[in-house]
Amino acid sequence: MGDFDFSVIADNLPFLWQGLQLSLWLTLLAIIGGIVLGTLLALMRLSGLWWLALPAAGYVNLIRSVPLILVIFWFYFLVPLALGRPIGGFYSALIAFVMFEAAYYSEIIRAGIQSIRQGQVHAAQAVGLSYWQTQRYVVLPQAFRNMIPILVTQGIILFQDTSLVFVVSLRDFMTASSIVARTEGRLVEMYIFAALVYFVICFAGSLFVRRLKKASTA
């Protein structure tokens, strides 16, 4: 332990902070995009129209059956071939995360919508609201309030998954830590520091989830 030199962290803190910013920014954008697309997929599956429900179900089952790293490769290597031009590592990763997370958010949101009592839906329809108006004004506000804890939990998992963007040469926090570890020859110090940062952020998120659960049951 006496050979540890944690000054390497302070010396490279700006570089590491840039990587952490990318990880957090990618997580935030993917959560927003994933929830928006996931909500649309959930509504399509619950619409009762087979020509909407079938494609949505097929998409969700397909994406949930493949590893995230494969989805990243799809958008980084295959989409540029289809478009005839590169779209860049960041946008490739962002699209992949949004498309991947939307499949998981869709199932969370679908379960949240189904948890709302049908009596409220029938009452909304009785006063003349359409299916989409019922979802917008009656069902979704209540469902999202109930779903917030598990949506945040999925966001924590997404933050951990951002470490996969090294495969498209993005310099996220984990990649930045690895670069410093190799160039400075301080693997133990850097990987301990990286683990602590992930732990602090994820543990803080888990505490926030617990607080939300207590608030929702109060």
Inter-residue contact 57 to 137 (CB < 8 Å): no
Q: Which of 140, 138, 166, 136 is nearest to 151 (CA)?
A: 140
Task: Give CB contacts under 8 A, 24+ apart, made by 116-121.
Answer: 116/142, 116/143
Please tell me what DSSP assigns to residue 168: G
Which tokens hold the place of 163? 């470490």
Distance of alpha carbon 196 from alpha carbon 202, whole angstroms: 10
Query: Quick one: tokens of 182?
Result: 């190799």
The pLDDT of residue 142 is: 87
Q: What is the pLDDT of residue 216?
A: 67
* Domain ranges across the chain: 7-217
Q: Exposed/middle/buried for 147, CB within 10 Å: 0-12, 13-18, 19+? A: buried
Q: What is the pLDDT, as a whole number, of residue 88?
A: 85
Q: Note the pLDDT of residue 108.
A: 94
pLDDT of residue 218: 60
At 82 the pLDDT is: 78
The pLDDT, as a whole number, for residue 199 is 96
Q: Which stretches of the chain drop beneath a pLDDT of 70?
A: 1-2, 216-218
Q: Which CATH class is domain 7-217?
A: mainly alpha
